[in-house]
Chains A and B, each alone.
Chain A
Amino acid sequence: MKINKKDIITVIINEASSIIDLENDKINFDTTIYGNDSRLDSLGLINLIVAVEQNIEDEFDVTITLADDRAMSQKRSPFNTVGTLTNYIEILLKEELND
C-alpha cells in the first residue's frame, strides 16, 4: 500500500479539530499539539493520540503503537506538532508496510 502523507494529516486534523473544538482549516502542519502553546490539556493529548492510532489502523489496515519507546525517548517529541506527528506516523507505517 502506498502511504500518502495527506491521508495521515487528514486523520490527525479531523481528530484534533473535534477534541479542541476548532475548525479543520484553522489547524495545519505547524499547529502545536504538545507543549506550552498547545490548546490540548494532558487528557486531550491522550484522547488525540489514542484516536489517531485507531484511525490510522483503520485507514491503513495495520496496527501501530504511537507512544512507543522510540517516541518517548526522543529529544524532540514527535507529538510536538501536527507535522512532527505526521512524519513519525509515516516512519512507523513505512516500517510496518515495508513501503
Chain B
Amino acid sequence: MIDKPVMIITGTRKGIGKYLAEYYTEKKFQVVGCSRGNVDFELDNYHHFTLDVCEEGDVKKMFSNIRKTYGRLDVLINNAGVASMNHVLLSPLKKTQDIINTNFIGTFLFCREAGKIMKKRNHGRIINFTSVGTKLKIEGEAAYTASKAAVENLTEVLSREYSEFGITVNAVGPTPVKTDLIRSVPKEKIENITKRQAINRLTENKDISNVTDFFIKYESEFITGQIIYLGGA
C-alpha cells in the first residue's frame, strides 16, 4: 500500500478541478483525476483517467485500478459538473438529462464506489459540490439547481449511511466562480446573484480549497452531512 494519502478529484481538465489537482499534489497527496477529455498538463503524483463520470463500467474500472495500484483511498472530491442557463419552457430534454447525469449520477456513482474502498480502512472523506444557486433558487437554472439539490440530499443521507465506516460526507457550495461554467451567463445575471450574498464577490479558488482543507483534516472526523455555502449565501 502506498504511504501517502490518495485523493480522487473529478473534472480535473480545467477550472476548479485543475486548481485542486495542482493544490493537493503540492500538498503531497497522490491525486487521481478524471475528465471526458485528455488534460494538457503534467504533475508529479498525478494520474489521469479519461472517462465520463456517469459511465458505470468505466468508473468501476478506474476504482478497481486505484484499489489494486494504491491499496487505499482517503479523499474523494466530486467536482465534475455541467450547467446550462435556460428558461424551463426553452429547455431541451437531452440537455436536462445530461445535467442530471453528470452532476447527480456521476456524484452518486463515485460516492458508491469510493465507499467500497474507504470502508476497508474505516476512514474516508467525501466532498461533493453543490451551488449557491440551489439555496438562492436562481431563475433560469432549474435543471442545474435541481441536480445540486439532489447532490445535497445525497450528501446528507450518505453521511448517515457511511458513518459506521468512518467516512464523512460533506458538500461545499460556491458562489459563481470565474470558470467556463458561467462563461455564457450574462454579467448582469452574475451580479444579481452576488448581490444576494452577504459578501458580494465571485468565489476564488482559494475560498474552495479552504473549505476542502477543513473537511479533509483529521480533526474534522465529527463534521459530516454539512453543506457550506460560500459568501454568506
Contacts and interface: CB of A to CB of B under 8 A. Distances in A.
Interface of A: 43, 47, 50, 53-54, 57-58, 63, 65
B116 A50 contact: yes
A63 B164 contact: no
A10 to B, nearest CB: 20
Most chain B CB within 10 A, of A43, A50, A58, A63, is at A63
A27 to B, nearest CB: 22
Given A50-B116, A50-B119, A65-B56, A57 B164 contact: no
A63 B61 contact: yes
Interface string B51-69: 0000011001100100110
Contacts of B56: 65
Contacts of A65: 56, 60
B1 to A, nearest CB: 15
Nearest to A58: B68
A63 B60 contact: yes
A47 B68 CA distance: 19
Contacts of A58: 68
Contacts, number: 15
A53 B61 CA distance: 13
A47 B60 CA distance: 18
A47 B116 CA distance: 9
A80 B39 CA distance: 45
15 contacts: A43-B164, A47-B119, A50-B116, A50-B119, A53-B116, A54-B67, A54-B116, A57-B64, A58-B68, A63-B57, A63-B60, A63-B61, A63-B64, A65-B56, A65-B60
A58 B57 CA distance: 16
B62 to A, nearest CB: 9
Interface string B127-170: 00000000000000000000000000000000000001000000
Interface residues of B, number: 10
Q: Which 4 A-B pairs have the closest CB atoms?
A: A63-B60, A63-B64, A50-B116, A63-B61
Contacts of B57: 63
A50 B116 CA distance: 6
Interface string B182-200: 0000000000000000000
Contacts of A50: 116, 119
Nearest to A51: B120
A50 B57 CA distance: 16
Contacts of A43: 164
Contacts of B119: 47, 50
A70 B57 CA distance: 15
A43 B116 CA distance: 13
B115 to A, nearest CB: 8
Contacts of B67: 54
Nearest to B116: A50
Query: Considering residues B57, B64, B164, which has the most beta carbons from chain A within 10 angstroms of its beta carbon?
Result: B64
A50 B164 CA distance: 15
A65 B60 CA distance: 8
A53 B57 CA distance: 14
A57 B57 CA distance: 13
Nearest to A67: B112
